[in-house]
């Protein structure tokens, strides 16, 4: 009885966990996409009484392109390759198989096989193939011209709108595949070395053996964020404000290089936040910045060359950098003082900021700095405290 009840529950829809702003964005995108696609197709084709300006499956394509633009099924090659190959298969079946039911079945089945082979799986394309078969005499008369118009024209126009609209509304499209490249070695990036690994995800996907409507890297990101959320729950609310150094040595844009280098040496630090007059962080200058701009390598006597680089010139028109703002890294990677320390891990690894992260308030004013040592110490003591608490509770 319980199994039957669980089976019945499977028919109820799951809640959609997006806000109304995102829903409005998707609806607006589909509206604009279909309107422009139909209008431009009319301008291209002119008046026609035999074929519509829009094919019905394009509505389903619009749902994917604007409501779930990160889906593998909604990528440019999916809609173009899927719809055009489906139209080719559908027209071929319509021309060669006289029975509508048999032609429709073969059209959809072969289309799926072709899309798998070409890696352009796009669900609405199945409807494109069916439309080609059930279109009747109009499709038969046009033949393979149906592939070009309206299918290819519609698909390219809708894709063009999706490319512009999604990116203007801050939904990167097409979805970029993340490249796991850390230091040009076989090692995986540091942020992926704790918990599960990319190979773990690959193995689970192989065992699952079903098509997912989410990209592999998005799935991995969601799992990592879930893991990070669990760490936050276990460690408690330890923020950057709790572990940061508050007496921060900083420089301004116009601070001379010689003075900036002297501050690094005097305080035995490796980075200096660069701030404006309102103490807003505009960049960061590190030992690496000095070495890169002086074209230095670590070798005996390199400090002599560095001293020549940072020494102020007497001429009025020097071509070499003179002040901190000219060699700083900008914009600087910063952390908000209310950010949980767990969120510093991807900042320090993904952005290659291994040593120092300026901490800012809500107005981007400098209030502190967090080092790699601060983070390691906090994580260590947080784990010890958590283990001790668990021991007491048991």
Kindly report the average pLDDT of the chain as a whole number. 82
Contact assessment for residue 355 and residue 341, using Cβ atoms and an 8 Å cutoff: no
pLDDT reading at 230 higher than 60: yes
Does the pLDDT at position 295 exceed 70? no
pLDDT band per the 50, 70, 90 thresholds, residue 187: low
Q: Which of 389, 385, 331 is nearest to 357 (CA)?
A: 331
Give the range with max mean pLDDT: 14-23, 50-59, 269-278: 269-278
Q: What is the pLDDT of residue 394?
A: 43
pLDDT at 135: 86
Task: Please write the tens of the pLDDT for every residue from 299-347.
Answer: 445 555 566 666 665 555 556 778 988 889 888 889 999 988 878 877 7
Q: What is the pLDDT of residue 387?
A: 47
pTM of the model: 0.64
Structure-block tokens of residue 340? 């949980």
Identify the CA nearest to 350 among candidates 204, 228, 254: 228
Beta strands in 326-386 (DSSP E): 335-336, 356-360, 366-371
pLDDT tens sequence across 358-373: 999 998 899 999 988 8
pLDDT at 147: 94
277 with 252: CB under 8 angstroms?
Answer: yes
What's the pLDDT at 389? Answer: 45
In terms of pLDDT, which residue wins out, 126 or 287?
126
Please count the residues of the chain: 394
Q: Which of 320, 325, 247 is CA-nearest to residue 284?
A: 325
Burial 171-194 (b: 16+ CB within 10 A, else e): bebbbeeeeeebeeeeeebbbbee
For residue 311, the number of C-alpha atoms closer than 13 Å in the C-beta half-sphere is 9
Contact indicator for 196, 221 with CB cutoff of 8 Å: no
* Per-residue pLDDT at 354 exceeds 70: no
Please, how many CA atoms are within 13 Å of residue 285, restricted to the half-sphere of its CB?
29
Span 231-237, mean pLDDT? 67
Dist. CA 278–CA 259, nearest whole Å: 21
What's the rounded Cα separation, in Å, for the pair 99 and 89? 15
Concatenating the DSSP letter of every residue in 250-262 gives -EETT-BHHHHHH
DSSP state of 193: S
CA–CA distance, 22 with 171 (Å, rounded to integer)? 10
Q: Rounded to an integer, what distance in angstroms lies between the CA atom of residue 378 and that of residue 233?
A: 15
Burial 75-84 (b: 16+ CB within 10 A, else e): bbebbbbbbb
* C-alpha to C-alpha distances, 325 to 213, 320, 371, nearest whole angstrom: 46, 13, 22
What is the pLDDT at residue 95? 93
Cβ pair 72, 214 in contact under 8 A: yes
- What the block records as the tokens of 263 is 């501050």
Taking the chain, what is the end-to-end CA distance rounded to the nearest angstrom? 37
């Amino acid at each position: 009885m319980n199994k039957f009840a669980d089976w019945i529950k499977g028919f109820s829809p799951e809640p959609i966990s997006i806000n109304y702003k995102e829903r409005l964005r998707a609806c607006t995108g589909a509206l604009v996409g279909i309107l422009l696609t139909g209008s431009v197709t009319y301008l291209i084709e002119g008046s026609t009484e035999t074929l519509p300006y829009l094919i019905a499956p394009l509505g389903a394509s619009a749902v994917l392109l604007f409501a779930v633009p990160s889906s593998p099924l909604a990528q440019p090659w999916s809609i173009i390759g899927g719809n055009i190959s489906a139209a080719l298969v559908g027209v071929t079946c319509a021309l060669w198989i006289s029975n509508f039911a048999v032609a429709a079945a073969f059209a959809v089945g072969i289309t799926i096989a072709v899309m798998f082979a070409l890696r352009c799986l796009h669900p609405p394309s199945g409807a494109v193939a069916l439309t080609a078969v059930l279109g009747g005499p109009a499709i038969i008369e046009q033949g393979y011209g149906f592939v070009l118009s309206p299918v290819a024209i519609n698909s390219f126009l809708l894709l063009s709108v999706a490319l512009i609209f999604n990116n203007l509304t801050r939904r990167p499209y097409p979805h970029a595949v993340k490249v796991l490249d850390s230091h040009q070695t076989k090692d995986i990036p540091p942020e992926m070395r704790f918990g599960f690994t990319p190979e773990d995800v690959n193995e689970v996907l192989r065992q699952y053996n079903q098509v997912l409507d989410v990209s592999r890297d998005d799935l991995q990101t969601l799992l990592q964020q879930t893991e990070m959320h669990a760490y936050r729950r276990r460690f408690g609310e330890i923020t950057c404000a709790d572990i940061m150094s508050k007496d921060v040595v900083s420089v301004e844009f116009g601070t001379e290089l010689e003075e900036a280098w002297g501050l690094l040496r005097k305080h035995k630090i490796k980075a200096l936040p660069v701030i404006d007059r309102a103490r807003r962080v505009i960049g960061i200058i590190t030992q690496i910045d000095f070495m890169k701009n002086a074209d230095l390598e670590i070798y005996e006597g390199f400090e002599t060359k560095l001293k020549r680089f940072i020494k102020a010139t007497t001429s009025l028109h020097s071509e070499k950098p003179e002040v901190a703002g000219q060699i700083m890294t900008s914009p600087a990677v910063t952390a908000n003082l209310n950010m949980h320390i767990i969120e510093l891990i991807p900042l320090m690894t993904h952005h290659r900021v291994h040593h120092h992260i300026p901490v800012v308030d809500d107005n981007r004013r400098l209030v502190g700095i967090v080092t790699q040592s601060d983070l390691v110490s906090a994580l260590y003591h947080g784990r010890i405290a958590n283990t001790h608490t668990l021991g007491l509770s048991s």
